[in-house]
Amino acid sequence: MKLFILLGSINAFIAVALGAFGAHGLEGKISERMVEVWKTGVLYHIFHALGLLFIAFLVDKFPNATSFTWAGWIMFIGILFFSGSLYALSTTGIKFFGPITPLGGLAFLIAWVLVAVGALRYL
């Protein structure tokens, strides 16, 4: 539980900081389209940081439910791949990062399915 609370709170902090940076530090430095890409990264980052906090409490309440633990790790990977690739794409313009984004989205989907599986089994 402690690990996912730390990961969730650190990621929430980072998402808020990157949101502020995007709003103030990137304005006029990258195109409006890339600012929107940045904002999408921040939006999914904050939602899934909160998801990690939610998972922390599930892991604490149901310590034997491995689906919740897996969901947390996969959600964290999703943040790195989805939001991380959008941050990199928007600031560098390197198209290589574009195909990484859907892998992060897939990780988010898998993580939420694992939360649902855990709910069906343990709640």
- Cα 55 from Cα 68, distance rounded (Å): 6
Q: Could you give the dihedral angle defined by the CA atoms of residues 53, 56, 58 and 61, in that order, rounded to the nearest 10 degrees?
A: -130
Longest dimension (CA), the chain: 50
Say how far residue 48 (Cα) sits from the centre of its chain: 4
pLDDT tier at 123, thresholds 50, 70, 90? confident
Please write the tens of the pLDDT for every residue from 39-48.
Answer: 999 999 999 9
Q: How far apart are CA 18 and CA 9, in angstroms?
A: 14
Q: What is the pLDDT of residues 56-94, one digit of tens each?
A: 999 999 999 999 999 999 999 999 999 999 999 999 999
CA distance 92 to 82: 16
